[in-house]
């Protein structure tokens, strides 16, 4: 990661400042700094990839919707409806990532059928189980959360389906990032619908920041093993 040293230093500094502001409950400073996490990723991604090809453009679109959703969640105290709008923005950013990863899967659909079966079975067990755990606490949010959980399951599967179709570095970075992203969503859902707990906001933020960093660097380092017009 030496070639990302400058960006890594800037990103870590921004990340630490955000964590410090959140940890000390400096609300207005958090409003200013927290979006900078995604903005820094957006800028670095544009500079590094020049947004060449559909894969990079779809990841970029996902980051834009992630920034939108993150902002809505951050200011939800001003309007409870922002929670639903934030979920919609997050669902769209997940879909953008799914569409990007699908391009890699489509490049060689016949590969790694065993890995695909493992990914499908794991998602089929874990995500419904988590939804049914949340369901008694969801009230009118049952349907939106169900849709969101299904999209998250598809995101994990599609990230796993990239195996053997792209270079190992990109595959591992993005899969690890997606797992951290889903974990961040799970903690957020638990704290929101089941039981709030101390440091939940910090945990969500840490997982989210790590997730997006890994996905963006994985996207920058992506190399198709079987190239096709993307």
Would residue 42 count as lying in a domain?
A: yes
Average pLDDT over residues 151-173: 94
Q: What distance in Å separates the CA atoms of residue 48 and residue 40, rounded to the nearest whole number? A: 12
**What is the domain count for the chain?**
1
22: closest CA among 183, 181, 201? 201
Task: Using the predicted structure, report yes or no on whether residue 1 has a pLDDT greater than 90.
Answer: no
Residue with tokens 């939940």: 200
Q: Are 212 and 63 in contact (CB under 8 A)?
A: yes
Q: Which pLDDT score is estimated for 73?
A: 86
Would residue 111 count as lying in a domain?
A: yes
Q: Which pLDDT score is estimated for 173?
A: 97
Residue 225 C-beta-side C-alpha neighbours within 13 Å: 15
Q: What distance in Å separates the CA atoms of residue 86 and residue 64, rounded to the nearest whole number? A: 12
166: closest CA among 220, 95, 122? 220
Structure tokens at 110: 């016949």
Q: What is the mean pLDDT of the chain?
A: 91
Q: Are 175 and 145 in contact (CB under 8 A)?
A: no
Would residue 23 count as lying in a domain?
A: yes
Task: Using the predicted structure, report yes or no on whether residue 109 has a pLDDT greater than 80.
Answer: no
Average pLDDT over residues 119-146: 94
Average pLDDT over residues 113-129: 91
Q: pLDDT category, 126, cuts 50, 70, 90?
A: very high
Q: What is the pLDDT of residues 180-229, one digit of tens each?
A: 999 999 998 999 899 988 788 899 999 999 999 999 999 999 998 866 54
Question: How many percent of the chain have pLDDT more than 90?
Answer: 69
Would residue 227 count as lying in a domain?
A: no
Structure tokens at 191: 């704290």
Helix spans in the chain (H): 5-23, 27-49, 53-74, 81-106, 113-134, 142-160, 168-189, 200-220
Would residue 229 count as lying in a domain?
A: no
Q: What is the pLDDT of residues 138-149, one digit of tens each?
A: 998 899 999 999
Structure tokens at 189: 């859902």
More confident residue, 78 or 14: 14
What domain range includes position 53? 2-220
98: closest CA among 160, 176, 26? 160
Would residue 226 count as lying in a domain?
A: no
Q: Which pLDDT score is estimated for 227?
A: 62
Would residue 154 count as lying in a domain?
A: yes
Q: pLDDT category, 167, cuts 50, 70, 90?
A: very high
Would residue 230 count as lying in a domain?
A: no
Q: Give 199's strand partners.
A: none
Q: Which pLDDT score is estimated for 55?
A: 95
φ/ψ of 52, rounded to 5, equals -80, 125
């Amino acid at each position: 990661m030496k070639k990302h040293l400058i960006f890594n230093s800037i990103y870590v500094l921004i990340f630490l400042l955000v964590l410090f502001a959140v940890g000390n409950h400096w609300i207005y400073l958090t409003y200013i700094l927290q979006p900078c996490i995604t903005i820094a990723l957006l800028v670095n991604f544009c500079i590094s990839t020049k947004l060449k090809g559909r894969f990079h453009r779809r990841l970029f679109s996902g980051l834009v919707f992630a920034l939108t959703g993150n902002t809505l969640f951050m200011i939800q105290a001003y309007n409870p409806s922002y929670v639903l709008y934030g979920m919609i923005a997050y669902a769209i950013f997940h879909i953008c990532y799914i569409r990007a990863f699908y391009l890699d899967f489509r490049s060689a659909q016949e590969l790694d059928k065993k890995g695909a079966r493992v990914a499908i079975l794991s998602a089929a067990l874990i995500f419904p189980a988590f939804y049914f755990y949340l369901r008694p606490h969801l009230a009118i949010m049952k349907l939106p959360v169900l849709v969101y959980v299904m999209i998250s399951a598809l995101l994990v599967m599609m990230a796993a389906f990239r195996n053997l179709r792209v270079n190992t570095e990109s595959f591992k970075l993005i899969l690890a990032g997606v797992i951290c992203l889903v974990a961040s969503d799970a903690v957020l859902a638990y704290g929101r619908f089941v039981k709030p707990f101390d440091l939940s906001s910090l945990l969500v933020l840490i997982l989210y920041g790590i997730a997006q960093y890994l996905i963006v660097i994985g996207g920058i380092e992506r190399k198709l093993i079987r190239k096709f017009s993307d």
